[in-house]
């Protein structure tokens, strides 16, 4: 399937979403838009299992130390804390994305919302390298999410604006081909 065919499908999808007055986020729509070229899976929580194992070892170790109450209590508290931390890390799995089996990376770029028009103009023109020069802030009310293949062969992007208490899509999801991804590389490296 050609890039232009996929782009036509995305534009149709975005127009349909605007008519319904609901714009889906990039996470919710990327599999559908990419015609099943992008797959999503949950990351297995190895780190959580490691913390969990260390916590179990600390609990077991405290049973062998019956003489010193201070060490026993410290091992008990550490063991329980590490088990809880390990469970939280294990259960909080991140989504991983793949484009035709190749890994993809999701990045967020925050911008000052007082320059919304300038950012939207650069975004609409696909000038990601110029976005690298725009002032940005971690406490801003505007963000750009980009999901790109690690070899920069394809990318999906979406602009969000802070409304009320959460970020809401300001535009539909867009797809970028390899030529546009080269421009995107400048923004990713500069951040």
* pLDDT at residue 179, as a whole number: 77
* pLDDT at residue 129, as a whole number: 75
Q: Do 100 and 183 share a domain, yes or no?
A: yes
Rounded Cα distance between 18 and 116, Å, is 20
Q: What Rg do the C-alpha atoms of the chain give, in angstroms?
A: 22
Helices (H), the chain: 3-19, 26-33, 46-64, 69-91, 116-125, 128-131, 178-190
Q: Do 153 and 100 share a domain, yes or no?
A: yes
- Contact between residue 108 and residue 191 where contact means Cβ atoms under 8 Å apart: no
- What average pLDDT does range 29-44 have in this prediction? 70
Q: Do 100 and 86 share a domain, yes or no?
A: no
Q: Which residues contact 152 (CB under 8 A, 6 or more apart)?
A: 178, 181, 182, 184, 185
Rounded Cα distance between 126 and 7, Å, is 14
Mean of pLDDT over the chain = 76
* pLDDT at residue 9, as a whole number: 52
| Maximum C-alpha span of the chain | 74
- The Cα-based distances of 78 to 70, 72, 75, 87, 88 in angstroms read 12, 10, 5, 14, 15
Tell me: pLDDT of 101 over 60.
Answer: yes
**CA count, 13 A, side-chain hemisphere, 90:** 13
Per residue in 123-134, pLDDT tens? Answer: 888 777 777 777
* pLDDT at residue 17, as a whole number: 45
Q: Total domain count for the chain?
A: 2
Per residue in 42-90, pLDDT tens? Answer: 777 778 888 888 888 888 887 776 677 777 888 888 888 888 888 888 8
Rounded Cα distance between 181 and 93, Å, is 28
- The Cα-based distances of 43 to 14, 84, 93, 97, 189 in angstroms read 29, 19, 6, 10, 25
Tell me: pLDDT of 95 over 60.
Answer: yes
Q: Do 121 and 184 share a domain, yes or no?
A: yes
Tell me: pLDDT of 20 over 80.
Answer: no
Number of H helices, E strands in the chain: 7, 7
Tell the residue number behind the tokens 């790109």, with chain if given. 148
* pLDDT at residue 21, as a whole number: 45
Q: Do 20 and 34 share a domain, yes or no?
A: yes
List the domain range (segments joined by +) for residue 22.
3-42+96-190
Q: Which residues contact 33 (CB under 8 A, 6 or more apart)?
A: 6, 9, 10, 13, 156, 173, 175
Q: Do 37 and 55 share a domain, yes or no?
A: no
């Amino acid at each position: 399937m050609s890039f232009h065919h996929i782009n036509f499908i995305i534009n149709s999808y975005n127009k349909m979403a605007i008519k319904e007055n609901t714009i889906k986020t990039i996470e919710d729509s990327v599999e559908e838009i990419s015609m099943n070229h992008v797959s999503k899976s949950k990351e297995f929580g190895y780190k959580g299992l490691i913390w969990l194992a260390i916590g179990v070892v600390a609990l077991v170790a405290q049973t062998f130390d019956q003489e010193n109450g201070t060490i026993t209590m410290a091992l008990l508290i550490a063991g329980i804390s590490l088990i809880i931390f390990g469970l939280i890390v294990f259960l909080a799995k991140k989504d991983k994305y793949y484009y035709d089996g190749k890994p993809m990376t999701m990045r967020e770029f925050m911008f000052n919302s007082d320059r919304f028009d300038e950012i939207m103009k650069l975004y609409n023109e696909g000038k990601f390298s110029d976005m690298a020069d725009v002032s940005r802030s971690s406490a801003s009310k505007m963000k750009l999410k980009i999901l790109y293949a690690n070899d920069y062969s394809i990318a999906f992007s979406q602009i969000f604006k802070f409304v009320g208490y959460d970020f809401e899509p300001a535009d539909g999801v867009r797809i970028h081909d390899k030529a546009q991804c080269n421009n995107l590389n400048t923004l990713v490296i500069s951040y």
